[in-house]
Structure 1
Amino acid sequence: MSHDAATRHDTLSGTRLLSRRRLALLWQPLGRRRAEVLRALLILIAATVLDVLGPWLTQRYLDDYLIPGNLAPEALAGLVAIYVITQLGAAAGRYFQQLRFARLALASVRDIRERVFTHLLHQPLSTLDNIAAGELVARVTNDTESLKELYIGVLATLIGNVVLLIGILSAMALMDGTLAMIATALVPLSIGMIWLYQRFSGRAAREVRRLRALQNARIAEAIGGMSVLQASDQTERFSRRYHHLNVSQYQARMHTVRVSGLLLRSAIDLMAMLITLSLVAVFGLRELGGGAELGVLYAFIAWLGRISEPLIQITQRLQVFQSALVATGRLEEVLDRPRETPEPDTRAAKAATSGHTDNAVIASGHYQLEQLTFRHQGAEGPALNRLTLAIESGEFLGVVGPTGSGKSTLLDLLSGQRPAPASQLLLDGRPLMEWSAQQRATAIAVVPQEPFIRATTLRDNLLLGREISQQHLSRVLHKAHLAPLVDSLPLGLDTLLGERGLSLSTGERQLLALGRALVTTPRVLLLDEATASIDSHTEALLQQALHELRGEVTLIVVAHRLATVRDADRLLVLEQGRITQLGSHDALMAEPGLYRRLWREDIAH
């Protein structure tokens, strides 16, 4: 996502921080725990009632016992015992309600984090076209972590303090209506300060969140390309770019700090002091008239202190609250993105309508393309334009063409990693995207140009958690020509490969990716520029592996080196997203055209 797009989105998010859909997202994990929420609220109410009783018992002690000189031991002992019991009960209640609310908050964040991560795993590759990987990481980690503060702030702080305020104001009204009206004035004044704070700090809070995501993206970008940055002497330029981001975030955060210092604790403390002076003044006038009770004044001053503290806590949480709501908007944007496959019930309904059953399998690997057109989001023209082609079961199809002709996009569509219109791309006579993700993953295997290698063992990288027999694993190693590599490693299949598999050569990583693709015994094997960066020996091994697989699977190979696909059954030549030539190597070399020119250029190099 560009800076401007991110800014527009965050600004939009700030206009309606508590939209109905956002509230639904936040309530969903709590809705599954209604009984726990209810128990926590009951404990909170009980703790609040016991807490509010403290000043009332003190008022009774002062006005009914101490000042009149009524010091009967039995009555005083009973009053003290009740006071101690209520305060101990209030303390225990506060502890248990905070514990329960914290458990609810952490469980809710866990659920949302898993939901966002699972949604990302099922999104089309176009997601990565528009949002940097580092920013996606920030949304799954930092933004969901911000929700913890939102849940704790709302559940443990906001609800707790609101209940406490209601309890204190009710006790005040029962004890003395006039003084209660004076003390209650602190609430609307504090709400006014909260409104001013939100008005003057909201944009800065959104800017802080946006800049933090950009910082994460810059860090991930720099770490991923560290060798290139150092080799090209670009570290200083990247450092300056990060410095500018850091300074911008510092300035935005300082703005929120200044607004907070002016409008939150200091302003509410000042208003609480003025209210206290007003209470003392009214009490003094009553004392002159002979109608004042010292215990009432003490109770009101004690309650007023307990009113101001919850209000201060609520306002101090506002900055975190705002930031968390912005984070919720960013998570909402991710969840709004369409999944790469229809939802299971939708897919089942379509399958039933078309006569297919859920237990159907991709058996032949036959593709049918009918006027297939695809346009990348934000692109001016289509990446693929009206492709019509039948790819037979077991055929070896080579795909060639200049850079930007749409070769990799075609493979993404054939694998289902990018969704294609149902009527334009069929596999075994059925729209490709109507096959479930599991059915496609079992039958269609992809060997990418840059293999994904985890910092774990060779065995784990091959299997990716799938369980196969030792006999099948041995066949996979043989077909992928990995057996010599396994024999050369100190611990064989249990050798750790290190970060991104850097302990292996580029060619060995490609052979590993081929072996991983063969684990499921696929019906379709797609290779994307698999020989672009490997040595001639590994290229020969890969060509041999493809020759041995020929006829067993439908082979579709995108090749930069044309020698890799020279022996293909047919060669598909793409140019600017269109099919310009189709035929065998000999047939295409016999006619003037793009393929003959590409072949001669390839041989010359």
Structure 2
Amino acid sequence: MSSAVASRLSWGLILSTLDFLACLLFAFLHDGTFSVNNFTSQFTNFSFFTCTIDLFLLQFIRSALWFVPAIIHIINKPDTLSSWKEPIFCASLLICAASPTKLLLLTERLKPDEFLTFGDTAFLIWNFLAAIILDSSWNRYFSRTPSSYIILDEDNEDLEHRPKETFELIFRLLQYCKREWLWHISGFSWLFIYSVTRIFVPYYTGQVIATVVATKSYPALSNAVYIMTFISLVSAVAAGFRGGSFEYAYARIQRSIRYDLFSGLVRQDVAFYDAHKTGEITSRLAADCQTMSDTVALNVNVFLRNCVMLLGSMIFMMKLSWRLSLVTFILVPIIFVASKIFGTYYDLLSERTQDAVAESNDVAEEVLSTMRTVRSFACEKVEADRFYDKLTVTLNVTRTKAIAYVGFLWVSELFQSFIIVAVLWYGGHLVLTGKMKADLLVSFLLYQMQLGDNLRQMGEVWTGLMQSVGASRKVFEYIDREPQIQHHGEYQPENVVGKIEFRNVHFSYPTRSDQPILRDLSFTVEPGETVALVGPSGSGKSSCIALLENFYLPNAGQVLVDGVPLEEYEHHYIHKKIALVGQEPVLFARSVMENVRYGVDVQDTEVIKSCEMANAHGFIMQTTLKYETNVGEKGTQMSGGQKQRIAIARALVREPAILLLDEATSALDTESEHVVQEAIYKNLGGKSVILIAHRLSTVEKADKIVVISKGKVEQIGSHEQLLADKEGTYAKLVQRQMMGEQKPKKNNGANSKRPANSINVGGTSQGNAMSLLSTSFSQSASSVTSH
């Protein structure tokens, strides 16, 4: 027998034995004295109105449920334990309802001055407590999978805690209400006044009806109406202030949730955005946060209001007739059973809905942000149909939610009606037997309807909270996610010299961990040196830039700046010392001045100076608003060359120690490229530069050229040194490129076809031989590796 089975059997035996002994004891004390005859006589003279032996039989049901975990382990299906939680919860509620039901039966034939015996009272209380112990023991112990059955990996290490996730999320959602305590105190105060005044409405309504029917007195009627009018006015004023306080609190909660999510998103590493689509993340930030803030705050308001009214109604009902009140309380657990089952299913459907909405938003964001491409390929109808398909998926999930909600309302309304019928019948029975005054029955029925409405709204609160839980699961996942790259470095030297070293670096992108990009790559950039990285597409050039920007961590090896590992530098400090101009620079929808000054606090004169260095000042001054000109979303109001020159100015204004140029001049015409390159080289002041280029005119000016192929360094040297090695990869590629550029000269036609491996950029022959190592390198990969 395994330890898990033995443990379950032991606990089941202990709990069932304790339950059996307690029930046996209280059965022996049936008439108030301890006697075996009290137990046996209940079998021979059984009556629902006098015996408690039926409560004793419920003990066997509880014992059977306590032995279920051991049986499940014996048949070797421990993973099904968690699925038993809902049935156990429902069974516990029904067993709880047996106590007030039995109480009504036992007191039905008692005289007004008679009371239940100690044994029967203790039996009723124990039955109620035993049901609670049954559910608690399953939640805390039986439903958990033993550690021997849990696979210890990062995906399943928290498996045993998942059943509590829903309640943990609800509690965390409520913490946002705690933050806005001032406005919630105001709202709760007015809510309390409103709820208390509404509690008295059924009572005085009943008094008005009773006065008209019984006394037919105008003074008595007027007095009751005056009181009702005053209560209604106070209730209306309190309702207004309550609504205003909570409405403002909702807005503040929404701000807090969105800020927390956005703060969590912007600190994530770049690998996170490689794996998650922008549209999906935007949907979480917009739709999910809206759902969370609206439903949580609203449902807290509704829940607290109904709690106060429910408590007040119960007090009045118990005062009017405790027997009649128990009829309601017997059927309430059944409604909670339905709410629990529906709420769990609704939680799952809400999460599916939010995922479907996120997918449709992702399609919309992708299409709208690439509208030029969509229009150029005439794919408007195609994208509209794709978006419609995503909306259809959302509609299908929502339809399932609607069907489930219909079922819940059927059950809820059915039991509500059944409660009213039961109260009417039993209330009439109490009036006819003289156990209740007739004029109080009307007030009780009004309280009963109010109680039913309170319970219905509280059931909807649970549904709303489940909807919030479904929306919040991903939101909190993003807020809590710890980025793989933690910016805990604190090293801030007075000066960065600019020595860069890649030392035995191995790297693969997190989304493609099985495809190595860099393999034992090593090279050094001395201070003030300009190094060009050349190689075919996918060889790892841009990956070197990404590692140096600390976008990713290498799988092995180190990237060092001035002999210090990059991750040891303070995050903000090192990114002021390293400036990047990407192949496709992205500008923000702000003015030119704000784009160039992005991330640094410099004077306008320094911004203008950096623009002059990048050959951007001229075209900026030709615009209407000059440096206040808005560049448009992602710089769409600027040409490709203008965007790139603004990006270069944005890098130069920081006066970096290290400048990274990833095809930084690829979008410029020959003249602008020459001017920008000259400005960059003249004003670097000994700064270290790593550039990636496919143009020979850019590469040949570098102090050192690093040839990378398949993630490894094949050659290192200056342009002249590498050309001197006739058998080297660099020399062969330059020769092949030059030959490719010369072929078009044999054709005189203006529309003559050019070789597929050449790019004619115009200008002199030196300017024409610029498409180095791009298409030629990729087409001749086999010849490269053979050498």
Q: Is 1:599 the equivalent of 2:712? A: no
Q: 1:510 aligns with which of 633, 644, 669?
A: 644
**1:362-373 matched pairs, under 5 angstroms:** 362-373=495-506
Q: 1:52 aligns with which of 199, 224, 227?
A: 199
Aligned partner of 2:402 in structure 1 is: 257
Gaps of 5+ in 2: 1-154, 741-757, 759-787
**1:466-545 matched pairs, under 5 angstroms:** 466-545=600-679
Partners of 1:23 and 1:288 lie apart in 2 by 48
Residues 497 and 504 of structure 1 are in contact (CA less than 8 Å); yes or no, is this contact kept in structure 2?
yes
CA deviation map 1:224-278 (0-9, x unaligned): 22222333344443333222222221111111112112212x4323322222122
The DSSP-based 3-state class of the residue aligned with 2:478 is helix
Amino acid at match of 1:364: V
Partners of 2:511 and 2:601 lie apart in 1 by 41
Q: Is 1:281 the equivalent of 2:416? A: no
Q: 1:211 aligns with which of 356, 363, 370?
A: 356
Gaps of 5+ in 1: 1-7
The DSSP-based 3-state class of the residue aligned with 2:608 is helix
Aligned partner of 1:239 in structure 2 is: 384
Aligned partner of 2:312 in structure 1 is: 167
Partners of 1:297 and 1:262 lie apart in 2 by 32
Q: Is 1:375 the equivalent of 2:522? A: no
Partners of 2:567 and 2:438 lie apart in 1 by 78
Residues 180 and 252 of structure 2 are in contact (CA less than 8 Å); yes or no, is this contact kept in structure 1?
no
The DSSP-based 3-state class of the residue aligned with 2:686 is coil
Pick closer, same or farther for the CA change 1:311–1:27 going to 2, 3 Å: closer
Pick closer, same or farther for the CA change 1:69–1:342 going to 2, 3 Å: same
**1:82-231 matched pairs, under 5 angstroms:** 82-231=227-376
Residues 571 and 584 of structure 1 are in contact (CA less than 8 Å); yes or no, is this contact kept in structure 2?
yes
The DSSP-based 3-state class of the residue aligned with 1:179 is helix
Aligned partner of 2:688 in structure 1 is: 554
State the shift of 1:117 in Å.
1.1
State the shift of 1:454 in Å.
2.6
Amino acid at match of 1:69: T
Q: 1:389 aligns with which of 505, 517, 523?
A: 523
Aligned partner of 1:4 in structure 2 is: none
The DSSP-based 3-state class of the residue aligned with 1:388 is strand
Residues 144 and 327 of structure 1 are in contact (CA less than 8 Å); yes or no, is this contact kept in structure 2?
yes
**1:207-356 matched pairs, under 5 angstroms:** 207-264=352-409, 266-290=410-434, 292-339=436-483, 342=486, 346-347=488-489, 351=490, 356=491
Partners of 2:663 and 2:160 lie apart in 1 by 41
State the shift of 1:31 in Å.
4.0
Partners of 1:164 and 1:589 lie apart in 2 by 89
**1:17-28 matched pairs, under 5 angstroms:** 18-19=165-166, 22-23=169-170, 25-28=172-175
Amino acid at match of 1:125: V
Amino acid at match of 1:223: L
Residues 593 and 628 of structure 2 are in contact (CA less than 8 Å); yes or no, is this contact kept in structure 1?
yes
Amino acid at match of 1:156: N
Q: Is 1:426 the equivalent of 2:560? A: yes
Partners of 2:365 and 2:187 lie apart in 1 by 41
Partners of 2:168 and 2:324 lie apart in 1 by 42
User: Which fold has the larger relative contact order, with Cα–Cα distance below 8 Å and residues 6 or more apart in sequence?
Assistant: 1
CA deviation map 1:336-380 (0-9, x unaligned): 33347536xx54xxx4xxxx5xx6445222223322222211320
Give the total of aligned pairs: 582
Pick closer, same or farther for the CA change 1:288–1:474 going to 2, 3 Å: closer
Partners of 2:562 and 2:299 lie apart in 1 by 53
Pick closer, same or farther for the CA change 1:27–1:570 going to 2, 3 Å: farther
Pairwise CA RMSD of aligned residues? 3.0
The DSSP-based 3-state class of the residue aligned with 2:511 is coil
**1:66-77 matched pairs, under 5 angstroms:** 66-69=212-215, 71=217, 73=219
The DSSP-based 3-state class of the residue aligned with 2:707 is strand
State the shift of 1:68 in Å.
4.6
Partners of 2:171 and 2:441 lie apart in 1 by 45
Partners of 1:260 and 1:21 lie apart in 2 by 24
Partners of 1:187 and 1:45 lie apart in 2 by 24
State the shift of 1:210 in Å.
1.1
Pick closer, same or farther for the CA change 1:90–1:18 going to 2, 3 Å: farther
Deviates more, 1:164-173 or 1:93-102: 93-102
Pick closer, same or farther for the CA change 1:71–1:24 going to 2, 3 Å: closer
Q: 1:581 aligns with which of 712, 715, 733?
A: 715
Partners of 2:515 and 2:251 lie apart in 1 by 46
TM-score (norm. length: structure 1): 0.87
Residues 485 and 552 of structure 2 are in contact (CA less than 8 Å); yes or no, is this contact kept in structure 1?
no
Residues 102 and 156 of structure 1 are in contact (CA less than 8 Å); yes or no, is this contact kept in structure 2?
no
Amino acid at match of 1:133: T
The DSSP-based 3-state class of the residue aligned with 2:661 is strand
Pick closer, same or farther for the CA change 1:589–1:311 going to 2, 3 Å: farther
Pick closer, same or farther for the CA change 1:19–1:581 going to 2, 3 Å: farther
Deviates more, 1:406-415 or 1:280-289: 280-289
Partners of 1:376 and 1:515 lie apart in 2 by 30
State the shift of 1:218 in Å.
0.8
Partners of 2:408 and 2:189 lie apart in 1 by 33
CA deviation map 1:100-127 (0-9, x unaligned): 3333333222112112212222222111
**Larger-Rg structure:** 2
State the shift of 1:159 in Å.
3.0
Partners of 1:552 and 1:82 lie apart in 2 by 89
Partners of 1:438 and 1:155 lie apart in 2 by 41
Pick closer, same or farther for the CA change 1:541–1:334 going to 2, 3 Å: farther
Residues 369 and 388 of structure 1 are in contact (CA less than 8 Å); yes or no, is this contact kept in structure 2?
yes
Residues 588 and 634 of structure 2 are in contact (CA less than 8 Å); yes or no, is this contact kept in structure 1?
yes
Aligned partner of 1:436 in structure 2 is: 570
Amino acid at match of 1:83: M
State the shift of 1:396 in Å.
0.9
Partners of 1:186 and 1:536 lie apart in 2 by 85
**1:36-47 matched pairs, under 5 angstroms:** 36-47=183-194
Pick closer, same or farther for the CA change 1:600–1:83 going to 2, 3 Å: farther
Aligned partner of 2:533 in structure 1 is: 399
TM-score (norm. length: structure 2): 0.68
The DSSP-based 3-state class of the residue aligned with 1:424 is strand
Which contiguous aligned blocks of 4+ residues in structure 1 show a shift greater than 6 angstroms?
12-15
Pick closer, same or farther for the CA change 1:598–1:145 going to 2, 3 Å: farther
Deviates more, 1:552-561 or 1:309-318: 309-318
Residues 341 and 437 of structure 1 are in contact (CA less than 8 Å); yes or no, is this contact kept in structure 2?
no
Partners of 2:588 and 2:160 lie apart in 1 by 36
State the shift of 1:220 in Å.
1.3
CA deviation map 1:519-563 (0-9, x unaligned): 222221111122334432332233223322344322111223343
Amino acid at match of 2:505: L
Amino acid at match of 1:305: M
Aligned partner of 1:29 in structure 2 is: 176
The DSSP-based 3-state class of the residue aligned with 1:378 is helix
